[in-house]
Amino acid sequence: MSQLTFTVNGIKVRGNSREPLLIQLERAGLQPEYQCRNGMCGACRCKLQAGAVDQQDSMAFVAPNEVLSCCSIPKSDLTVEFAYQLQSSLQGLQANEK
């Protein structure tokens, strides 16, 4: 298993290269928006600012620099940005952590 670090709207969380990004962010306590969870709606899209993902086939439109977090498997450390402030269910997550 490869341990990875994701920087999400300035918040650092740990993850892996086996599961979809959305699931990993939820497990870390973040609450990205989603609807279908299978690449149809586009609600989970985010900007990929650094790193690489293996994005499975999807129907939703994404811009060239965007990925669907519900069907993207991280391949490296990532920096991603959602276009809204993420809700967090965990206390103590540090925004803008460098």
Backbone dihedral region for residue 49 (phi beyond 0: left; psi -120 to 50: alpha; all else: beta): alpha
Kindly state whether residue 23 participates in binding ligand FES, applying the rule CB under 6 A.
Answer: no
CA-to-CA distance for 21 and 3, rounded, in angstroms? 13
Write down the residue that tokens 């086996």 correspond to.
18
Look at residue 27 and give its three-state secondary structure.
Answer: helix
In the complex, least distance from residue 72 CB atom to ligand FES, rounded to whole angstroms? 9
| Region from 4-12, 23-31, 33-41, 80-88 binding ligand FES, contact rule CB under 6 A | 33-41
Q: Which of 11, 68, 80, 86 binds ligand FES (CB under 6 A)?
A: 68
Would you count residue 70 as binding ligand FES (CB under 6 A)?
yes
List the end-to-end C-alpha distance of the chain, in Å, as a whole number.
25
Q: Which of 10, 26, 43, 81 binds ligand FES (CB under 6 A)?
A: 43
Residues lying near ligand FES in the complex (CB under 6 A) are found at 34-37, 39-44, 60, 68, 70
